[in-house]
C-alpha cells in the first residue's frame, strides 16, 4: 500500500511541475496502472508461448521444417501455411518454431557466461577494492570501449563458426556490463550495518560476501540478465544473419531473416514473420526486466 501511495504522489508531483494548477484527471492513475498490467500480461504470455515452442515444437508445428515443395514456394500466409512459404516451399511457421530452441538456448548460454564471469569480477572488485578493483576496472573499461557486436564478431571469428562459439562470443561481450553493475551494487551494500556487523563477529570474507552481500544485490543483476537475454538474442540472430552461426538449412531465427532478404520486396512474409517473432520476444524480455527491477 505504501508503494502505491508513493507512486501516486510522484505522478501528481510531475503533473504539478508541468502545470501548478493542474491535477490528475479522475481515474488517470488507475487507467495507467491497468495499461501497464495489460502490457505485462501480454509480455509474459508471449514469453510463455516462446518457451513452449522451445520445449514442445511438434505440438505447434506439424510440418517438416527442412522439407520443401517447390510447387508451393512463395505461398502467402494462410490456413495451411500460417506464415507462408519460402523460396524452396518450406513452411516458415514450422521453421520459426523449430528454430526457437537453438536461438534461445544459445542466448541462455551467452547470458550465463556473462552473468557468472561478470558477477565474480564485480564481486571481487567491489568488495576487495584497492589494486584488485583498479585492475578489474581497467579490464572492464577496455571491454566496454569495444562495441559488443564487433567484439562478438572478433571472438567468433577466432573460435570458428558454430552456435556454441557464437554463444561464447556473445557472453564475453556482456561480461563488462554485469561486472560494472555488480560492483556498484556491492559498493552500495558493503558499508551497511549488517555487513559491518558480520565482519565484527568474525565472519570471513567468503561468508560475508555470499551470505550477506550477494543475497541483497542479486535482484538488480537478475533484472539485467533478463534484459541482456533479449540483447543476446539480437546479437546471435545478427551473427547468424551474417553467416557466423549454424550453416543453412538450420532454422535459426537469424538465418530465416537472411534467407528471405533477397525476396522481401515481392514476398514480404518471408522476413516479416521471423523478424516479428524476434522483436516481440525481445520487447517482452525488456518489459519483464523492468518489472523485476521495480519489484523489491
Q: What does the pLDDT look like over 26-38, one tens digit per residue?
A: 566 677 778 788 8
Which single residue is written with the C-alpha cell 516458415?
92
Residue 247 is given by DSSP the state: P
Of 25-29, 81-85, 143-147, 148-152, least confident by mean pLDDT is 25-29
Helices and strands (DSSP H and E) totals, the chain: 13, 0
Q: What is the pLDDT of residue 100?
A: 93
Residue 23 has pLDDT above 60, yes or no: no
pLDDT digit string, tens, across residues 259-290? 888 888 899 999 999 999 999 999 999 999 88
Q: What is the pLDDT of residue 214?
A: 77
Indicate the domain borders of the chain: 2-55, 58-294
CA atoms of 207 and 219, how far apart (whole Å): 19
Q: What is the pLDDT of residue 127?
A: 82
Residue 8 has pLDDT above 60, yes or no: no
Q: What are phi and psi of 85, to 5 degrees?
A: -125, 165
Count CA atoms closer than 13 A to 107's CA, side-chain side.
30
Q: If pLDDT is split at 50, 70 and 90, which confidence band does 188 have?
A: confident
Q: What is the pLDDT of residue 5?
A: 41
Q: What is the pLDDT of residue 3?
A: 47
More confident site: 16 or 284 = 284
Handedness of CA 172, 174, 177, 182 (dihedral sign): negative
pTM over 0.95: no
Closest CA to 122 of 220, 229, 236, 235: 220
Which single residue is written with the C-alpha cell 572492464?
140
Average pLDDT in the chain: 83
Residue 135 has pLDDT above 70, yes or no: yes
pLDDT digit string, tens, across residues 72-115? 899 999 888 999 999 899 999 999 999 999 899 999 999 999 99
Of 135-139, 207-211, 214-218, least confident by mean pLDDT is 207-211
Q: Which fold has domain 58-294?
A: MetI-like fold (1.10.3720)
Q: How many CB atoms lie within 10 A of CB 225?
A: 22
Beta bridge partners of 91: 85
Q: If pLDDT is split at 50, 70 and 90, which confidence band does 228 have?
A: very high
CA atoms of 150 and 212, how far apart (whole Å): 37
Amino acid at each position: 500500500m505504501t508503494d502505491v501511495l508513493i507512486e501516486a504522489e510522484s505522478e501528481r508531483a510531475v503533473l504539478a511541475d508541468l502545470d501548478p494548477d493542474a491535477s490528475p484527471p479522475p481515474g488517470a492513475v488507475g487507467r495507467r496502472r491497468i495499461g501497464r498490467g495489460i502490457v505485462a500480461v501480454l509480455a509474459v504470455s508471449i514469453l510463455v508461448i516462446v518457451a513452449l515452442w522451445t520445449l514442445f515444437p511438434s505440438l505447434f508445428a506439424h510440418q517438416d521444417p527442412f522439407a520443401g515443395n517447390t510447387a508451393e514456394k512463395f505461398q502467402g500466409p494462410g490456413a495451411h501455411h500460417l506464415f507462408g512459404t519460402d523460396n524452396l516451399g518450406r513452411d516458415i511457421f514450422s521453421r520459426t518454431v523449430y528454430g526457437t530452441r537453438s536461438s534461445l538456448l544459445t542466448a541462455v548460454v551467452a547470458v550465463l557466461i556473462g552473468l557468472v564471469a561478470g558477477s565474480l569480477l564485480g564481486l571481487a572488485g567491489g568488495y576487495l577494492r584497492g589494486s584488485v578493483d583498479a585492475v578489474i576496472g581497467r579490464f572492464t573499461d577496455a571491454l566496454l570501449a569495444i562495441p559488443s557486436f564487433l567484439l562478438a564478431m572478433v571472438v567468433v571469428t577466432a573460435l570458428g563458426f558454430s552456435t556454441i562459439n557464437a554463444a561464447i562470443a556473445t557472453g564475453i561481450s556482456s561480461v563488462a556490463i554485469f561486472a560494472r553493475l555488480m560492483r556498484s551494487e556491492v559498493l552500495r551494500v558493503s558499508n551497511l550495518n549488517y555487513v559491518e556487523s558480520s565482519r565484527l563477529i568474525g565472519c570471513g570474507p567468503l561468508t560475508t560476501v555470499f551470505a550477506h552481500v550477494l543475497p541483497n544485490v542479486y535482484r538488480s543483476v537478475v533484472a539485467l540478465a533478463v534484459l541482456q537475454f533479449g540483447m543476446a538474442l539480437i546479437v546471435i540472430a545478427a551473427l547468424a544473419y551474417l553467416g557466423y552461426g549454424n550453416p543453412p538449412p538450420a532454422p535459426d531465427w537469424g538465418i530465416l531473416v537472411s534467407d528471405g532478404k533477397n525476396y522481401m520486396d515481392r514476398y514480404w512474409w518471408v522476413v516479416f514473420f521471423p523478424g516479428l517473432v524476434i522483436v516481440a520476444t525481445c520487447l517482452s524480455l525488456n518489459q519483464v526486466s523492468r518489472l523485476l527491477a521495480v519489484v523489491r
